[in-house]
Amino acid sequence: MQFETNLDACINRFMYRINTMGEFMNLVLKPIETRGNEKILKFIYESFIIRAVAFIENYLTCLVGNASVRKESLIRDYFKEHGNERKKQEVRNCHELSILSKHMEAEVSFKKDAKKTKRVFEYLFNFSPFPHREIEDLIHDAVLVRNIIIHEGGIPSDAHANQMRNQGIIVVSEIIA
């Protein structure tokens, strides 16, 4: 398949994954809802959240990777300003653009309110990876839910509920609270 740009390939891959997941959800939800199997329904929704967050992270990484292979001097400046001593040394001694690009891709992270991701996007593109605050809040909450599923067995605590930007997305169990 021929794309107009490599950035088109990023969005097309992202949209393909989202559409495939939507088709899957449409196919399996109705029979499971009809049977009333809450355990399996919860599992499907958890799987959806995990994959959706992975797709978004992969999309942002793809954008950064494609842009950074064309902006070598910006990558080097970025790590001079924001890298730790080890990273500064690695970047200073690196002569392969593909490796420099991988260093930049590794900066894409949702940790600490996506601080590094926002910084990378400002550096490379002069705009935020999130089109507006509501989307940023929604992605923040999805990442938190994903982390609860993966690292906490899907059981949120009051501390998790307090981190949510949109209230009511998670419900703290009375058993745990």
pLDDT digits (tens, 9 = 90+) for 109-130: 999 999 999 999 999 999 999 9
In 95-113, which positions are buried (b, 16+ CB within 10 angstroms) versus exposed (e)? eeeeebbebbbebbebeee
Specify the pLDDT at position 175.
61
In the chain, domain spans: 6-129, 131-177
The span from the CA of 56 to the CA of 108, in Å, is 11
Provide the H-helix boundaries in 36-132.
38-68, 72-82, 85-93, 97-105, 111-125
Could you read off the pLDDT of 65-75 as tens digits, one per residue? 998 888 888 99
Q: Is the dihedral of CA 54, 106, 78, 81 positive or negative?
A: positive
Its pTM stands at 0.86
The maximal CA–CA distance of the chain, rounded, in angstroms, is 60
Band (pLDDT 50/70/90 cuts) for residue 107 is very high
Residue 177 pLDDT grade (very low, low, confident, very high; cuts 50, 70, 90):
very low
Secondary structure (DSSP) of 120-153 = HHHHHHSS-SSSSHHHHHHHHHHHHHHHHHHHST
Q: How far apart are CA 42 and CA 36, in angstroms?
A: 11
